[in-house]
Structure 1
Amino acid sequence: MNENKKDNNTNTPKFKFNAYWIYGAILVLLIGFQFFSSGDLATKSISKNEFNEVLRDNDISKIIVVNNNVAQVFIKEEAIKKEKYQKLINSTFYRKGSSLYEYNFGDLQNFENSLQEAKKENDLTFDLKNESRTSMLDTLIGFLPFIILIAIWLFFMRRMSGGGAGSGGGGQIFNIGKSKAKLFDKDTKVKTTFENVAGLEGAKEEVQEIVDFLKNPEKYTSLGGKIPKGALLVGPPGTGKTLLAKAVAGEAGVPFFSLSGSDFVEMFVGVGASRVRDLFKQAAQKSPSIIFIDEIDAIGRARGKNSMTGGNDERENTLNQLLTEMDGFGTDTNVIVIAATNRADVLDSALMRAGRFDRQIYVDLPNINERKAIFEVHIKPLKLADDVNVEFLAQQTPGFSGADIANMCNESALIAARNGKTAIHHQDFLDAVDRIVGGLEKKNKVITPKEKKVIAYHEAGHATVSWMLEHAAPLVKVTIVPRGQSLGAAWYLPAERLIVQTEQMLDEMCATLGGRAAEKIIFNKISTGALSDLEKVTKQARAMITVYGLNEEVGNVTYYDSSGNDSFVKPYSDDTAKRIDEEISKLIENQYQRAIELLHNNKEKLTVLAELLLEKEVIFKDDLEKVFGKRPFEALDAEVKVEKLIEEEANVPPAAESTEE
Structure 2
Amino acid sequence: MGNNNKNKEKLNIGNMGSGNKAPKFNPYWIYGVVIIAFLAIQWFTLGGGPVETNWNEVKTTILANNDVKKIVVVNEKEAQVYLKESSYDKYSAKLNNGFTAPQKVGPHYFFEIGPPEAFANNLKEAQANVAEENKVGIEYKTVHNYLGELLNWILPFAIIILIWWFIFKRMSKGTGGGGAGNIFNVGKSQAKVFDKDSRVSNTFKDVAGLAEAKQEVEEIVDFLKSPTKFTKLGGKIPKGALLVGPPGTGKTLLAKAVAGEANVPFFSMSGSDFVEMFVGVGASRVRDLFKQAKEKAPCIVFIDEIDAIGRARGKNPNMGSNDERENTLNQLLTEMDGFDTNSGVIILAATNRADILDKALMRAGRFDRQIHVELPDLNEREEIFNVHLRPIKLSPEIDPAFLAKQTPGFSGADIANVCNESALIAARHNKDLVDKQDFLDAVDRIIGGLEKKNKIISVDEKRRIAYHEAGHATISWLLEHAHPLVKVTIVPRGKALGAAWYLPEERSITTKDQLLDEMCSALGGRAAEQISFNSISSGAQNDLEKVTKQSYAMVSIFGMSEKVGNVSFYDSSGQNEYGFTKPYSEKTAELIDSESKLLIETQYARALEVLTANKEGHEKLAELLLEKEVIFSEDLENVFGKRKWGKPLMVAEVKKEIAAGLLENKEAPATSESTTA
Task: Give the TM-score taking structure 2 as reference length.
Answer: 0.85
Q: Per-residue deviation at 1:605?
A: 3.0
Q: Per-residue deviation at 1:370?
A: 0.7
Residue of structure 1 equivalent to 2:251: 241
Structure 1 distance, partners of 2:321, 2:57, is: 79
2:397 to 387, 391, 394: 387
After TM superposition, the structure 1 stretch with the greater mean CA deviation from structure 2, 97-106 or 354-363, is 97-106
| Counterpart contact for 2:168–2:186, Cα < 8 Å | no
Letter in 2 for 1:93: T
- Partner of 2:332, secondary structure, is helix
Aligned counterparts, 1:121-520, within 5 A: 121=129, 125-131=135-141, 136=147, 140=151, 144-161=155-172, 163=174, 165-166=176-177, 171-306=181-316, 313-328=323-338, 330-520=340-530
| Counterpart contact for 1:61–1:125, Cα < 8 Å | no
After TM superposition, the structure 1 stretch with the greater mean CA deviation from structure 2, 590-599 or 445-454, is 445-454
Structure 1 distance, partners of 2:157, 2:660, is: 79
Structure 2 distance, partners of 1:312, 1:611, is: 61
Q: Per-residue deviation at 1:374?
A: 0.6
| Counterpart contact for 2:47–2:99, Cα < 8 Å | no
Change (3 A) 1:37 1:571: same
Residue of structure 2 equivalent to 1:76: 84
| Counterpart contact for 1:232–1:340, Cα < 8 Å | yes
After TM superposition, the structure 1 stretch with the greater mean CA deviation from structure 2, 131-140 or 599-608, is 131-140
Q: Per-residue deviation at 1:576?
A: 0.9
Structure 2 distance, partners of 1:611, 1:30, is: 86
| Counterpart contact for 1:51–1:103, Cα < 8 Å | no
Q: Per-residue deviation at 1:581?
A: 0.3
Structure 2 distance, partners of 1:507, 1:59, is: 114
Structure 1 distance, partners of 2:123, 2:178, is: 68
Structure 2 distance, partners of 1:127, 1:435, is: 95
Change (3 A) 1:535 1:80: same
Letter in 2 for 1:592: Y
Q: Per-residue deviation at 1:261?
A: 2.2
Change (3 A) 1:162 1:114: same
Residue of structure 1 equivalent to 2:608: 596
Letter in 2 for 1:153: W
Residue of structure 2 equivalent to 1:526: 536
Change (3 A) 1:48 1:419: farther
1:619 to 631, 634, 643: 631
Deviations 1:376-421 (A, max 9, x none): 1011111122332322211111111111111121122222222222
1:576 to 581, 588, 598: 588
Structure 2 distance, partners of 1:272, 1:10, is: 44
| Counterpart contact for 1:372–1:391, Cα < 8 Å | yes
- Partner of 1:275, secondary structure, is helix
After TM superposition, the structure 1 stretch with the greater mean CA deviation from structure 2, 583-592 or 159-168, is 159-168
After TM superposition, the structure 1 stretch with the greater mean CA deviation from structure 2, 493-502 or 103-112, is 103-112
Deviations 1:333-369 (A, max 9, x none): 1222222111111112222222322221100000111
Change (3 A) 1:51 1:503: farther
| Counterpart contact for 2:236–2:341, Cα < 8 Å | no
Residue 85, structure 1, aligned to residue 97, structure 2: no
Structure 2 distance, partners of 1:171, 1:245, is: 32
Q: Per-residue deviation at 1:114?
A: 3.4
Deviations 1:434-460 (A, max 9, x none): 221112333443333333332222222
After TM superposition, the structure 1 stretch with the greater mean CA deviation from structure 2, 61-70 or 510-519, is 61-70
Superposed CA RMSD: 3.6
- Partner of 2:129, secondary structure, is helix
| Counterpart contact for 1:215–1:252, Cα < 8 Å | yes
Deviations 1:594-624 (A, max 9, x none): 2122222333333333333333332222333
- Partner of 2:87, secondary structure, is coil
Residue 97, structure 1, aligned to residue 105, structure 2: yes
Q: Per-residue deviation at 1:245?
A: 1.2
Letter in 2 for 1:116: K
After TM superposition, the structure 1 stretch with the greater mean CA deviation from structure 2, 386-395 or 30-39, is 30-39
Q: Per-residue deviation at 1:292?
A: 1.7
| Counterpart contact for 1:39–1:98, Cα < 8 Å | no
Structure 2 distance, partners of 1:7, 1:91, is: 41
After TM superposition, the structure 1 stretch with the greater mean CA deviation from structure 2, 263-272 or 474-483, is 263-272
Structure 1 distance, partners of 2:380, 2:175, is: 44
Change (3 A) 1:541 1:81: same
- Partner of 2:127, secondary structure, is helix
Change (3 A) 1:14 1:34: closer
| Counterpart contact for 1:229–1:356, Cα < 8 Å | yes
Structure 1 distance, partners of 2:240, 2:16, is: 45
Change (3 A) 1:579 1:28: same
Structure 2 distance, partners of 1:41, 1:623, is: 97
Q: Per-residue deviation at 1:134?
A: 6.3
2:126 to 110, 113, 118: 118
Letter in 2 for 1:405: I
Structure 2 distance, partners of 1:36, 1:476, is: 85
Q: Report the count of equivalent residues.
A: 643
Task: Give the TM-score taking structure 1 as reference length.
Answer: 0.87
Change (3 A) 1:235 1:88: same
Q: Per-residue deviation at 1:507?
A: 1.0
Deviations 1:147-200 (A, max 9, x none): 2211111223344455354279x9554454443332222222222111110000
- Partner of 1:305, secondary structure, is coil
Structure 2 distance, partners of 1:517, 1:302, is: 47
Aligned counterparts, 1:50-69, within 5 A: 52-66=60-74, 68=76
| Counterpart contact for 1:42–1:92, Cα < 8 Å | no
Q: Per-residue deviation at 1:119?
A: 1.7
Unpaired segments of 5 or more residues in structure 1? 654-661
2:641 to 624, 629, 650: 629
Structure 2 distance, partners of 1:345, 1:589, is: 35
Letter in 2 for 1:89: N
Q: Per-residue deviation at 1:133?
A: 5.2
Percent identity among equivalent residues? 60
